[in-house]
Structure 1
Amino acid sequence: MKIKKILNNSAVVVKDRDGEKIVMGEGIGFQKRKNDPVNQAKIDKVFVMKDPSEHQKFEEILQLLPEEHIQVAEEIITYAEKEFGVMINEHIHVAFSDHLSFAIERLTNGISIKNALLDQIKILYVKEFEIGLWAKELIKEKLGVEIPEDEVGNIAMHMHTARMNAGNMQETIDITTTIQEITSIIENSLKINIVEDTMSYERLIIHLRFSVKSLLSNEKNHDYDEKMVNMIKENYKEAFACAQEVGHFFEEKYRIKYPEAELMYISMHIQRFYGRVIMS
């Protein structure tokens, strides 16, 4: 295995019988030249990108970003794969390294960006948020930078979208944003404050995640009992009217009709909050 290109002191491009690979390891490129043999004992990671464009982007990232940022990013990715028990999408090596480096640069300069989706992320992506908290400690230890919970939420989003078949980052953001918008509609419509740490709130958020995702994926799974719907309409008038507002918003945003069965379930979740407020 010989070096084809040196990207930095810790990363080189090599070529062998299987084609080009990116190899990482501490000091693996230090004082090396093209065609020098690779020190096998220094290899920590070997990357074989299926997508040539991803390979090229990763080369560029390795040449542009601080080595210590990339090393921390890779350590977080390795930890995430261990926690998930699966290999995650190769795109994360580019997207997450770039994101993390920029975030560290911002925070070092005193610039912190609020994550408007943080409350929803904590509930929807529990495992991913735990990985983000682990990453928070690693970043503090290795780079001396204290990242806020808002950034932990961003890391969680990257970890979620990198899991195989979990969709892409924009889809994850769209779904999470839509859930936030729906909860705002409920609060504004009924003039209530949803307490984020209640079990009822968590149930609502989790139900909305599956509901929104299935509708956007065009999944047909909306069988319901008409008598039950009529009972909800009659006994929980305010909650059902609020759920209808949610349906109108969704239809206007996505041009997809919210099934009455889903509005019934959302009404039942809403009633938990509304009924508690009325009784208090």
Structure 2
Amino acid sequence: MRITKILNNNAVVVMDGDEEKIAIGAGVGYEKKNKDIVNKVKIEKLFVSKESEKLQQLLLRIPEEHFMITEEIIAYAEENLGTKLNDHIRIALTDHISFAIDREKQGIHIKNKLLPEIKVLYKKEFDIGLWAIQHIENKFNMRIPIDEAAFIALHVHAMKIQGGDLHEIVRQTSVLKNMVQTINQKLSIKVESDDIAYERLIHHLRFAMIRLKDNEHHTMDDEMFQMIKRKFPIAYDCAASVAQELSAKHDIHLPEDELGYITLHIERLRNK
């Protein structure tokens, strides 16, 4: 393999046969020049990426150690999730982590308003995020706020093969947060994110939205639905307010069956 471009001391672009690849390894590019042969012993990782040009640009403008620590986080995530992540995470997460480290060095702390929801909805990914911020803290001797664990969790979830678009995941999580806020305001209560009743509610709301997207929904016979309305009028009124808010703000329309189940979850919160 011969070098076609030197990105930094630890990253070079090489030609492997007819295929362009990015070789990563300690000192792989040190005192090298174009057309030199790569010392294969120094290559730790070899990437073939559809987004090779973007990855090269990223490696040219961020510190090498930011890329390397992101690689360690990705490896940890894939091992713990038992799945390969989408190749794009190498760009998206590296860029995010590098920017986050720079921000923290400057004393700029960004709050993640979806932190409580992310902790519940994406628990495995959030645990990976917690490990990641601890790993960054140990490596760079700096404090990283827990909000970053939630940001990293979203990136990891979005890059799972079955994950989805990051913007859509953030939108859905924001909608869920708005629904919980409506319940808080309507009932004049504070729903705590570590409460098991909250976890049940947020999971039900999430899957209700997924069912709507897939044109599916829970079925509840009318007699049961009418009984729930009569027995829990305050909780039902609250559920109806959530549905109205969803319709007005997000053009999402909950069927009555879903309102019945949501009413039961809200009643649990009221009983607490």
Same structural fold, with TM-score higher than 0.5 when normalized by the shorter chain: yes
Amino acid aligned to 2:256: E
Q: Tell me the residue number matched to 2:203.
A: 206
Shift of 1:65: 0.5
* Larger mean Cα displacement after TM superposition, 37-46 or 80-89: 37-46
1:83-232 → structure 2 map (5 Å cutoff): 83-215=80-212, 217-232=213-228
* Larger mean Cα displacement after TM superposition, 181-190 or 151-160: 151-160
SS at match of 2:109: coil
Amino acid aligned to 2:68: Q
Shift of 1:253: 2.8
SS at match of 1:3: strand
Matched, 1:240 2:229: no
Q: Tell me the residue number matched to 2:3.
A: 3
* Identical aligned residues as a percent: 44
Structure 2 gap ranges (5+): none
Q: Which runs of 4+ in 1 moved over 3 A?
A: none
- Looking at structure 2, the residues matched to 73 and 222 of structure 1 have their Cα atoms a distance apart, in angstroms, of 41
- Looking at structure 2, the residues matched to 13 and 218 of structure 1 have their Cα atoms a distance apart, in angstroms, of 44
Question: Is the contact between residue 240 and residue 264 of structure 1 (CA under 8 Å) also seen in structure 2?
Answer: yes
Q: Tell me the residue number matched to 2:257.
A: 261
Amino acid aligned to 1:27: G
Structure 1 gap ranges (5+): none
- Alpha-carbon deviations, 1:125-173, whole Å to 9, x = none? 1111111111122101211221011111111111111111210111111
- Looking at structure 2, the residues matched to 70 and 214 of structure 1 have their Cα atoms a distance apart, in angstroms, of 38
Question: Is the contact between residue 208 and residue 217 of structure 2 (CA under 8 Å) also seen in structure 1?
Answer: no
Matched pairs, number = 272
Amino acid aligned to 2:77: A
SS at match of 1:4: strand
Question: Is the contact between residue 235 and residue 263 of structure 2 (CA under 8 Å) also seen in structure 1?
Answer: yes
Q: Tell me the residue number matched to 2:28.
A: 28
- Alpha-carbon deviations, 1:57-78, whole Å to 9, x = none? 1110011001111111111011
SS at match of 1:107: helix
Amino acid aligned to 1:234: R
Aligned-residue RMSD, C-alpha: 1.3
- Alpha-carbon deviations, 1:74-113, whole Å to 9, x = none? 1101111111111101111111111111111111111111
* Larger mean Cα displacement after TM superposition, 13-22 or 75-84: 13-22
Amino acid aligned to 2:11: A
* Larger mean Cα displacement after TM superposition, 179-188 or 20-29: 20-29
Match for residue 65 of structure 1 among 59, 62, 65: 62
Shift of 1:269: 0.5
- Alpha-carbon deviations, 1:12-37, whole Å to 9, x = none? 11112351111111111111111111
> What TM-score does the superposition give when structure 1 sets the normalisation length?
0.93
Amino acid aligned to 2:194: D
Question: Is the contact between residue 175 and residue 213 of structure 1 (CA under 8 Å) also seen in structure 2?
Answer: no
Question: Is the contact between residue 129 and residue 155 of structure 1 (CA under 8 Å) also seen in structure 2?
Answer: yes
SS at match of 1:22: strand
SS at match of 1:158: helix
- Looking at structure 2, the residues matched to 163 and 8 of structure 1 have their Cα atoms a distance apart, in angstroms, of 29
Shift of 1:251: 1.6
